[in-house]
Amino acid sequence: MSIFSEVGPIKYEGPDSTNDFAYKVYDKDRVVLGKKLGDWLRLTVAYWHSFAAGGGDMFGPGTWTRPWSGNVTQEMAAARADAAFDFFTRLGTPYFAFHDADVIADAATLPEHIDNLKKIEDIFAKKISETGVKLLWGTANLFSHPRYAAGAATNPNPEVFAYAAGQVRAILETTHRLGGENYVMWGGREGYDTLLNTDLKAELDHMGRFLNMVVEHKHKIGFKGPILIEPKPFEPTKHQYDHDVAAVYAFLQKHGLEKEVKVNIEVNHATLANLDFEHEVTAAYAFGIMGSLDINRGDPRSGWDTDQFPNNAQDLTPAWLEILNQGGLHTGGCNFDAKLRRQSVDINDLYIAHITGIDTLARAVLSAESVIKQKKLATLKAARYAGWETPFGKEIAGGKLTLADLADLAVKKGLNPKAVSGQQELYESIIAQNQKV
């Protein structure tokens, strides 16, 4: 008897179902634009929020009492894995993601850490082959331990940089052996709290060197998945170097890694950066660095990373319009980097949170599909840029004309272009009118 055994497996029952423990929209086999809904979404449960955290916050300890709560011993790590894979299977989500620190007992030394990780890797390998649940990505926790208070790759002390290298090598190799499809690097404390004590240039150079080492090692061991940087503008540090997608792309270019490294975009991190999620997604595709998604939402009135489960499909529809138009996430997926509220102490809250989040994503995909099938938005947008398809537009974009040539041409043609409507309200109404179920 597991803690989850009263519920599940969760099934698709359709929009008329009143069963809290059923999908109303997420029918994984439903074909959307030639591909199954489940294959567009590649749903992923985050180990840390759902199986390693206890509901604590800055003002009080954990509130969720689970059989696996408390300090992690190796035995508890195994019990945690049993519970986690039972939940994944009952929920019907095909992937999971984890940090090294989520799954192993705290270690006093690096060799002990590596040894603990190897033991849990063996447990995970067995679970993966028994259940068919796959690893979307692995990552190293380089931010919780006090040694990382001043960062990992950007730490003023090279010994910390070296310790972090030891941790990353171990979990990257574990991720590879477990068939992980990506490897994620969120810049936990790669940033600063005050510039007064910070050598910004040195720290960025060190971060670039670290990333190059990770990429070199990935190739050495034959890991085929992409390395993904996860942008976030601040928290825990006052300024995080991987601020947003554009900042990450500039950093990758500077270090010659723009063809090697992609991004893992998190909804709540975009919100904190004062950017729309669809902006981050669209920018990543435009730069050719779209990797994967951390799905959650912030709170409109809180200025921090509340990591709530999503529940508003219309908010997510513009991002899905872009994702569907771009052909999907490839090796990426939708990882619920989202946590229950501190008062949500019941184990069933975990089901409700994921089911609602999954149905919300499914609604966004179906709404975006409807927009695409209607063709109206694409037609309007194409018409808006039609001038660039004319010989005149192509000549300008082609790069042959100088500024002076073009200035003379504008006079010769007697150009006097007038403002045309951007029709924002019409575009917005198309999104609203195509909301599904």
Closest by CA to 57, choosing from 306, 235, 271, 232, is 306
Smallest distance from the beta carbon of 222 to Co ion, in angstroms?
27
Q: Which does 206 bind (CB under 5 to 8 A by kind): Co ion, ligand XUL, none?
A: none
Instruction: Considering the candidates 49, 99, 206, 255, report the single residue annotated as catalytic.
Output: 99
Residue 228 or 366: which CB sits closer to ligand XUL? Answer: 228
Q: Look up residue 378 and give its two tokens.
A: 């694409």
Report the relative pairing of strands 43-46 and 95-99 from DSSP bridges: parallel
Under rule CB under 5 A, how many of the chain's residues touch Co ion?
3
Determine if 266 is a binding residue for Co ion (CB under 5 A).
yes
Does the annotation mark 27 as catalytic? no
Determine if 294 is a binding residue for Co ion (CB under 5 A).
yes
Site string for Co ion, 330-349 (x = CB under 5 A): -------x------------
Smallest distance from the beta carbon of 84 to ligand XUL, in angstroms?
16
Contact between 125 and 177 (Cβ < 8 Å): yes
Q: Which residues pair with 292 in a beta bridge?
A: 264
Smallest distance from the beta carbon of 266 to Co ion, in angstroms?
4
Alpha helix (H) ranges present in 273-330? 277-287, 313-325
> Tokens 């990992």 belong to which residue?
152
Does the annotation mark 102 as catalytic? yes
Closest by CA to 264, choosing from 236, 231, 238, 235, is 231
Determine if 322 is a binding residue for Co ion (CB under 5 A).
no
Q: Which residues pair with 139 in a beta bridge?
A: 99, 184
Smallest distance from the beta carbon of 307 to ligand XUL, in angstroms?
7
Which chain residues interact with ligand XUL by CB under 6 A? 99, 139, 184, 186, 230, 232, 266, 294, 305, 337
The residue length of the chain stands at 437
> Tokens 């309007």 belong to which residue?
380
Residue 143 or 249: which CB sits closer to ligand XUL? Answer: 143
The residue number with the shortest CB distance to ligand XUL is 186
Q: What is the 3-state secondary structure (H, E, C) of 48-87?
A: HHHHHCCCCECCECCCCCCCCCCCCCHHHHHHHHHHHHHH
Residue 98 or 249: which CB sits closer to ligand XUL? Answer: 98
Q: Which does 24 bind (CB under 5 to 8 A by kind): ligand XUL, Co ion, none?
A: none
Smallest distance from the beta carbon of 272 to Co ion, in angstroms?
11
Q: Which does 305 bind (CB under 5 to 8 A by kind): Co ion, ligand XUL, none?
A: ligand XUL
Instruction: Write the DSSP symbol of residue 348.
Output: H
Contact between 100 and 117 (Cβ < 8 Å): yes
3-class DSSP state of 379:
helix
Instruction: Considering the candidates 102, 242, 244, 294, report the single residue annotated as catalytic.
Output: 102
Residue 181 or 294: which CB sits closer to ligand XUL? Answer: 294
Distance of CA 182 to the CA centre of its chain: 11
Catalytic (active-site) positions: 99, 102
- Chain contacts with Co ion (rule: CB under 5 A): 266, 294, 337
